[in-house]
Amino acid sequence: MTITSPHLGSSAGWTDARLLYALEEVVEKELDRHLKVTKDWMPHEYVPWSDARNFPGFFEDGEAWGKEQSKVTEIGRIALVVNLLTEDNLPSYHHEIATLFGRDGAWGTWVHRWTAEEGRHGIVMRDYLLASRAVDPDKLEQFRMAHMSEGFESDNSHSMLHSVAYVSFQELATRISHRNTGHQSGDPVCDRMLARIAADENLHMIFYRNLLKAAFEIAPDLTMQAVRDVVVNFRMPGHGIPGFERAAAQMAIGEVYNMRIHHDDVLAPVLRFLKVMEIDGLGPEGRRAQEELGMFMGGLDAEARKFDEKLAARKARMAARASA
């Protein structure tokens, strides 16, 4: 497709304020669409309350947590903690997008609606984990305090366009992580809960992805550069969680989230939908960003193939040991 230059002239003419104003009608349209297709749901309906019992502390009949009480797998426990601690930082996420997008008009309505919907995710996940005794409640709270006490600042807080590009991928990444955690959890109740959360995340991704498409139409060079920067430097929002690197490595081996999933199920689908590599009519900076994006995706695919081979070899060794 051919995209013409923005009416403001060069890329230098676009500021965050002008982009926010130019995209306001798109935000309003996408908000209306979102409210028509989204479904309200009750977090308490997804929690196995009948499994709950008191923990020690103020209750004399309190029972201490033990790993044998958990119905979820080891990888399920690891991923659930990472996913919940990520959701716990909602106050910081709200502050960032409210600062970038504003609290007025369609942008503000979306910011508050998104925050309200995301709030359900932390509520239902924590209630499930505590009622079902899926994870150690003391460690979970200690991790939450440590993680939130550090604060959070996005890598893209300097630019609303970079932020829109980031969440277009991040919302899908979160959906995939929740969905795969459910599949790997070993508990149908957990799987059902995370499927409900994943459905929300998918709708959030569609909102931002469509907004990013509109940004390409009015400011293609700047948007291409933003997408290049975000894809090349992408980090999940939970990267500051205590022990995140080790947990991420375990989640990669457990096929909850790894390089192959990131390339095939997150980056590639969004780039393909937006036809990013087919956009022409770009200026020098836009073309350079497009070329660098293509090279990065090729390199990531090659790295993912190496990971696939190592993972397959690991599975073969484990199968051989099990049958010995």
68 assigned binding-site residue: no
What is the Cα–Cα distance from 124 to 112, expressed in whole angstroms? 19
Known binding residue 118? Answer is: yes
285 is annotated as contributing to ligand binding? no
Q: Within 10 Å of residue 313's Cβ, how many Cβ atoms?
A: 10
C-alpha–C-alpha distance, residues 44 and 47, integer Å: 5
201 is in an annotated binding site: yes
| Unique residue bearing structure tokens 């013409």 | 4
Query: Does 204 count as an annotated binding residue?
Result: yes
Question: 7: part of which helix (H) or strand (E)?
Answer: none
CA-to-CA dists, residue 320 to 227, 313, 315, 317, angstroms? 44, 11, 9, 5
Nearest alpha-carbon partner for 223 in 184, 168, 172, 177: 168
2 three-state secondary structure: strand
Phi-psi region at 281: left, alpha or beta (left = phi > 0; alpha = psi -120 to 50): left
Distance CA 34, CA 203 (A): 7
Annotated binding site for Fe cation: 87, 118, 121, 171, 201, 204
**Which residues sit in the known binding site?**
87, 118, 121, 171, 201, 204
